[in-house]
């Protein structure tokens, strides 16, 4: 599998590794900058105030950068009952402090799998009505992608076809010795480069060739544990009634960790938070999980998915059958986070190969 450079490319530049702190310093003057930082033995995306905090050598993060576009909890409206009911929509224009070119934040160092997941949300959450809360954050964010050169454990991005996704990135970085090779992919990306132009120099033809060679070699070394990933939706059909779901259901604790760490999961719950004065409060949207018992429970007590096997299967059903039906894309980017988060050691690669084998 040869590396195919991004189609929509404005320019190719070089950024020296030692200039990253300078770049971060300049960007933090006008934007909130998030990036991968160490979190004990793992990594997480967090606010960056100093370039030295950035760990662009990270393998994967606990949570995907989804959290900047769909926060774990978010006030949709705030309300006050005194003296009469007043409602304030958090989408109202006055709430938006545009810091720089309509942008408020920048996410640094997003890997291809997560870029693919962001693109996936762009499609799935605009099917009928655009989700206005996510759309706003998406418009306010700048994304700097980063090509992985080493595979991370439990991932299957090559099988899932997301290994060289640059979708949704404004700039895409590839490590090249002491520098980063920078593909400028969007107009926003061009503005970022322009804003810090002293730090960027044009890439030479040799460097462009070298990046292509590096990434082609990278493609060859990455594991590819699942054949014909795109056929899983039709194979899922055949495995729907198979024994594997009961087997998995007996192992699964129903904790929902897999869905909390998933870059493509987007289901949410809505409830009201009332302040202690009982007069004020907010309508809050928060991440929900189809693995939790009350996800499909309706008033009166009927539960459409009352058992763990039915919920385990639903997660896969949603990603590998429903979403392909709806937008012609599988809702899994192969990041492997669900496998790493699972306390029952349920392995997504194993699970998917079981489906491919008919599920028994």
> Under the rule (CB under 8 A), what is the footprint of another protein?
76-77, 79, 81, 84-89, 91-93, 96, 125, 127-133, 135-136, 240, 266-272, 274, 278, 281, 283, 288, 290, 295-300, 302, 304, 317-318, 321-322, 325-326
105-110 and 141-146 beta bridge pairing: parallel
CA dist 133 and 33 (Å) reads: 20
CA 31, 33, 39 angle in degrees (round to 5)?
Answer: 160
Spatial contact of 102 and 28, defined as CB atoms under 8 Å apart: no
Pick the closer one to another protein by CB: 164 or 315. 315
Q: By C-alpha distance, which of 20, 54, 22, 57 is closest to 37?
A: 54
* Minimum CB distance to another protein smaller for 20 or for 265: 265
57 is written with which tokens? 């050598």
Q: Which helix (H) or strand (E) holds 190?
A: helix 187-195
> Least distance in Å: CB of 162 to another protein?
22
Could you tell me the two tokens for 273?
């938070």
| Calculated CA dihedral for residues 19, 24, 29, 33, nearest 10 degrees | 170
**Nearest distance from residue 155's CB to another protein, in Å?**
25
In angstroms, the CA 233 to CA 224 distance is 18
CB nearer to another protein: give 132 or 343.
Answer: 132
- Nearer to another protein by Cβ, of 53 and 90: the residue is 90
The least CB distance from residue 261 to another protein, in Å, is 17
Nearer to another protein, 150 or 278 (CB): 278
Quick one: which of 323, 324, 314, 349 has its CA closest to 335?
349
* DSSP-assigned states of every residue in 87-109: EEETTSGGG----BTTB-EEEEE
Q: Closest distance between another protein and the C-beta of residue 12, in Å?
A: 35
Q: Closer to another protein by CB, 74 or 175: give it.
A: 74
Q: Least separation, in Å, of the C-beta of 95 and another protein?
A: 9
Measure the CA–CA gap between 12 and 10, rounded to whole angstroms: 7
Nearer to another protein, 150 or 299 (CB): 299
Q: Cβ 323 to another protein, closest distance in Å? A: 8
Report CA 244 to chain centroid distance, whole Å: 28
Residue (171 or 248) nearer to another protein, CB = 248
If DSSP codes are grouped into helix, strand and coil, which group holds residue 5? coil
Q: Which is nearer to another protein, 122 or 269 (CB)?
A: 269
Bridge partners, residue 43, by sequence: 38
Contact between 348 and 154 under an 8 Å Cβ cutoff? The reply is: yes
Between 111 and 305, CB nearer to another protein: 305
Tokens 């990306």 sit on residue: 189
The encoded tokens of residue 314 equal 């639903």
Q: Report which of 192, 165, 108, 84 is spatially closest to residue 333, judged by C-alpha positions.
A: 165
Q: Is 94 exposed, middle or buried (0-12, 13-18, 19+ CB in 10 A)?
A: exposed
CB of 183 to another protein, least distance (A): 31
Q: How far is the CB of 281 from another protein (least distance, A)?
A: 5
CB of 269 to another protein, least distance (A): 6
CB of 84 to another protein, least distance (A): 5
């Amino acid at each position: 599998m040869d590396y195919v450079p991004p189609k929509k490319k404005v320019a190719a530049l070089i950024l020296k590794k030692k200039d990253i702190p300078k770049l971060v310093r300049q960007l933090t003057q006008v934007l909130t900058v998030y990036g991968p930082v160490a979190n004990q033995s793992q990594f997480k995306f967090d606010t960056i105030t100093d370039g030295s905090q950035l760990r662009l050598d990270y393998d994967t993060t606990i949570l995907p950068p989804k959290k900047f576009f769909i926060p774990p909890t978010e006030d949709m409206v705030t309300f006050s009952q005194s003296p009469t009911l007043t409602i304030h929509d958090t989408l109202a224009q006055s709430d938006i402090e545009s810091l720089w070119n309509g942008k408020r934040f920048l996410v640094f160092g997003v890997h291809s799998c997560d870029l693919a997941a962001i693109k996936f949300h762009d499609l799935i959450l605009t099917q009928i009505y655009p989700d206005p809360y996510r759309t706003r954050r998406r418009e306010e964010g700048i994304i700097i992608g980063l090509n992985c050169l080493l595979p991370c454990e439990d991932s299957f991005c090559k099988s899932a076809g997301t290994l060289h996704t640059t979708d949704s990135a404004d700039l895409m970085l590839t490590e090249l010795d002491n520098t980063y090779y920078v593909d400028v992919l969007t107009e926003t990306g061009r503005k970022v480069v322009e804003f810090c132009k002293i730090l960027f120099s044009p890439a030479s033809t040799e460097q462009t060739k070298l990046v292509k060679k590096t990434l082609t070699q990278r493609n060859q070394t990455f594991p590819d544990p699942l054949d014909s990933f795109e056929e899983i939706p039709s194979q899922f059909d055949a495995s729907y009634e198979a024994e594997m779901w009961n087997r998995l259901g007996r192992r699964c604790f129903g904790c929902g960790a897999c869905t909390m760490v998933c870059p493509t999961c987007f289901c949410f719950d809505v409830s009201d938070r009332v302040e202690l004065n009982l007069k004020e409060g907010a309508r809050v949207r928060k991440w929900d999980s189809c693995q939790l018992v009350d996800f499909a429970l309706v008033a009166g007590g009927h539960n459409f998915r009352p058992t763990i096997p039915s919920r385990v299967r639903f997660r896969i059903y949603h990603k590998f059958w429903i979403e392909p039906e709806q937008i012609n894309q599988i809702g899994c980017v192969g990041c492997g986070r669900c496998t790493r988060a699972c306390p029952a050691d349920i392995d997504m690669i194993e699970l998917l190969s079981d489906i491919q084998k008919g599920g028994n």
